[in-house]
Amino acid sequence: MKKYGLYLLGCVAVFLLLASCAVTVVELKTDLGQEFTLAIGQSVIINGENLEIKFQEVAEDNRYRPSEHDQFWEGRVRVIVEIIENGSPFQMVLTQPGLMGLNDEYVEEIYKEYWLIFKVEPYPEVGAVIATADYRLLLTVSK
């Protein structure tokens, strides 16, 4: 019986230890016109707009550096965001042409009455692969 009690106590201790190590998701909030940064899986609430935007995934990234002479197209990066307005979800693909990220240029897309001004970082280095966890969506929402 003592062994069972010690076993149970050990299980509870391990459970409590693991629970204390759980990742806490920080909910981001911002105002219209303010730039913010999202990692994949993060979302932001736009204050006063009943609007939430979640960076879901990088669907495609085939951008290249100008030193890659064998390329005839600058490529592009396409990311998928989920826009939830008044509780209704909508998936949108945001596309940024290649080479724009080299000049700190942003791209504009329209969702209803909102302007989504964005860029995707980092820009790929020659011969390097960007880890999914390293992608960031820099975004400003305005009307």
7, part of any domain:
no
| CA atoms within 13 Å, Cβ hemisphere of 40 | 16
Type of residue numbered 107: V
| pLDDT reported for residue 63 | 86
Domain residues for 133? Answer: 26-142
| 20 falls within a domain | no
In this structure, is residue 14 part of a structural domain?
no
Q: Is residue 56 part of a domain?
A: yes
Among the residue ranges 42-51, 59-68, 81-90, 131-140, the one predicted with the least confidence is: 59-68
pLDDT tens track for 118-143: 999 999 887 788 999 999 999 999 99
Examine residue 2 and state whether it is found in any structural domain, yes or no: no
Q: Is residue 93 part of a domain?
A: yes
Rg (CA), the chain: 21
Count of domains in the chain?
A: 1
Which pTM does this prediction carry? 0.77
Beta bridge partners of 89: 84
Task: Look at residue 23 and tell me whether its pLDDT is greater than 60.
Answer: no
Q: What CATH number corresponds to the domain at position 98?
A: 2.60.98
Residue 9 domain-assigned (yes or no): no
User: Does the residue 1 lie in any domain?
Assistant: no
**Cα 119 to the center of its chain, rounded Å:** 11
